[in-house]
Structure 1
Amino acid sequence: MQIEISARKRTLQGKGASRRLRGSGKVPGVIYGGENPAEAIELDHNSLYHQLKLEAFHASILSMDVEGQREPVLLRDIQMHPFKLQVLHVDFQRVDRNKKVHMKVPLHFINGEMCPGVKLSSGIVSHVLTELDVSCLPKDLPEFISVDLIDLAAGNTVHLSDLKLPEGVEVPALAKGDDLPVATIIIPRAVAAEEAAAVVAAGEIPTTVQKKEGVAKEGEKKDAGKKK
Structure 2
Amino acid sequence: MSTNKITAASRKDEGKGASRRLRHAGQVPAIVYGGDVAPQSIQLDQEKTWVASQHEWFYSSIMDLEIDGKVQRVLLRDMQRHPYRQLIMHLDFQRVSENEVIRVSVPLHLVNAETSPAGKTASVVLTQELNEVEVACLPGKLPESIEVDLSNMQMGDTVHLSDVVLPEGVELVAKIDDEHNPAVAVARHARVEAEPEADEAAEGADVPAAKQDAEEK
Q: Where on the TM-score scale, by shorter chain, does this alignment land: which range?
A: 0.7 to 0.9
Per the alignment, residue 88 of structure 1 pairs with: 89
Match of 1:155?
156
Higher helix share goes to which structure? 1
Contact 2:119 / 2:125 at 8 angstroms: preserved in 1? yes
The aligned residue for residue 190 of structure 1 is 192
The number of residue pairs the alignment matches comes to 193
Asked if the contact 1:78/1:89 (under 8 Å) is kept, the reply is: yes
Moved over 4 A (4+): none
In 1, Cα distance between the equivalents of 2:91 and 2:188? 38
Is the 2:158–2:183 contact (alpha carbons within 8 Å) kept by the matching residues of 1? Answer: yes
Per the alignment, residue 42 of structure 1 pairs with 43
Tell me the distance in 1 between the aligned counterparts of 2:44 and 2:137: 28
Q: 1:226 matched to which residue of 2?
A: none
**How well do the aligned residues superpose, as a CA RMSD in angstroms?**
1.8
Partner AA of 2:185 in structure 1: A
Between stretches 167-176 and 68-77, larger displacement belongs to: 167-176
Which one has a bigger Cα radius of gyration? Answer: 1
Matches within 5 A, 1:127-206: 127-174=128-175, 178-190=180-192
Give deviations 1:157-193, integer Å, cap 9, x for gaps.
Answer: 10112111111010122457632211111212218x8
Q: Counterpart in 1 of 2:64?
A: 63
TM-score (norm 2): 0.83
Aligned partners of 2:74 and 2:166: how far apart in 1?
Answer: 23
Q: TM-score, normalised by structure 1?
A: 0.80
Unaligned runs of 5+ in 2: 195-217
- Structure 1: distance between partners of 2:15 and 2:177: 42
Question: Bigger CA drift: 178-187 or 85-94?
Answer: 178-187
| Deviation, structure 1 residue 69 | 2.0
Whichever structure has more strand as a proportion of its residues is 2
Amino acid at match of 1:124: V
